[in-house]
Amino acid sequence: MNFCTKCGSQLDPELPHECPNEVKQAQAEITAGAQQSAATVTAQPHPAAEKTLNVQVSFSPQKVFSLIKDPFASVRLSAESDMLYGLLGILFSVIGYAIWAKACASQIEDMVREAMGGMSFLFGQMPGFSIDFSRLLLFCFLSIALLPLIVWLFANWAGTEKKGFKGMLTVLGGTQWFTFAGFIVTSLAGYLSVKFALLLFVVVLLCNLTIVIQAGLLGFLVPVRHYMRTIVLSVAGYLIAFMLAVQILL
């Protein structure tokens, strides 16, 4: 008489034997294999998710200094990892503009009052003059923020490399670190001579206009034959948009 070595049941030579212990062991092996497969799938992220995780947003003061020295280096920035430099570039440029306005506002008021007093013999008593700093701050923001938007509109239209809003913010916003540094120097000059500070201020604004447009031509790969059209449309569009915004908001 024979018996099963795993469950101890008596074996009938004429009937097949189904050992319950073998069935349990097979089910346990299947369950363990499924759990191991699930753990492997969980440990290996989707390629798209892995690519997203590999993109790290970092901020380097050394890169900021390089953008101040060479604002056209912004055309080499990546919209995926360097957008922060463009966003902060615009923000700090507005802050630098406001610092200049705050440092020179009282002296500009004195200059205007003095000029009005000198013309009183022609026009009689002139009304008082004062600068509303809240309106001036909005003026600063409009003058800085509108320029990249207008240049993006026309450079993206004429260029062969199209960029979205993030690309515009990275490439054109990255140039604003130079403008921020220029406003800080101009603010310091205002404590020495307000007339010299005003001259530097005009120079900084003209440099900013030139740099942003040139960065748009380079960053969006505008063909040389379209340079003049893009420059004229950008300057005209910026002036028109700025005047309309000032009329509506101020």
Copy the structure tokens of residue 11.
């074996």
pLDDT of amino acid 126: 45
Return the pLDDT at 138: 80
pLDDT exceeds 90 at position 216: yes
DSSP conformation class of 225? G
Digit-coded pLDDT (tens) for 84-98? 999 999 999 989 988
What is d(CA 78, CA 203) in angstroms, rounded to the nearest whole number?
A: 29
Residue 3's SS3 state is strand
Whether 228 shows a pLDDT value over 90: the answer reads: yes
Distance CA 156, CA 186 (A): 32
Rounded Cα gap, residues 231 and 154, in angstroms: 9
Q: Higher confidence at residue 86 or residue 195?
A: 86
Q: What are phi and psi of 95, to 5 degrees?
A: -65, -45
Average pLDDT, the chain: 79
Tokens 């923000």 — which residue?
91
- Prediction pTM value: 0.69
Amino acid found at 190: G
Residue 174 CA to residue 83 CA, distance in Å, equals 8
CA dihedral 38, 41, 42, 47 (to 10 degrees): -170
pLDDT in tens, 119-174: 454 444 445 545 566 777 787 788 888 999 999 999 999 999 999 999 999 999 99
Residue 217 has what pLDDT? 95
Share of the chain above pLDDT 70, in %: 66
Among 29-38, 49-58, 97-106, 222-231, name the one with the lowest average pLDDT: 49-58
Give the per-residue pLDDT at 98. Answer: 84
Q: How far is CA 87 from CA 27, 79, 81, 83, 115, in A?
A: 58, 11, 12, 6, 40
Name which of 14-23, 72-81, 213-222 the model is least confident about: 14-23
Residue 111 clears pLDDT 70, i.e. is over it: no
Query: Residues 20-56: pLDDT tens digits?
Result: 666 566 666 666 665 665 545 444 555 544 444 344 5
| Chain position carrying tokens 């570039």 | 89
Looking at this protein, which amino acid is placed at residue 105? A
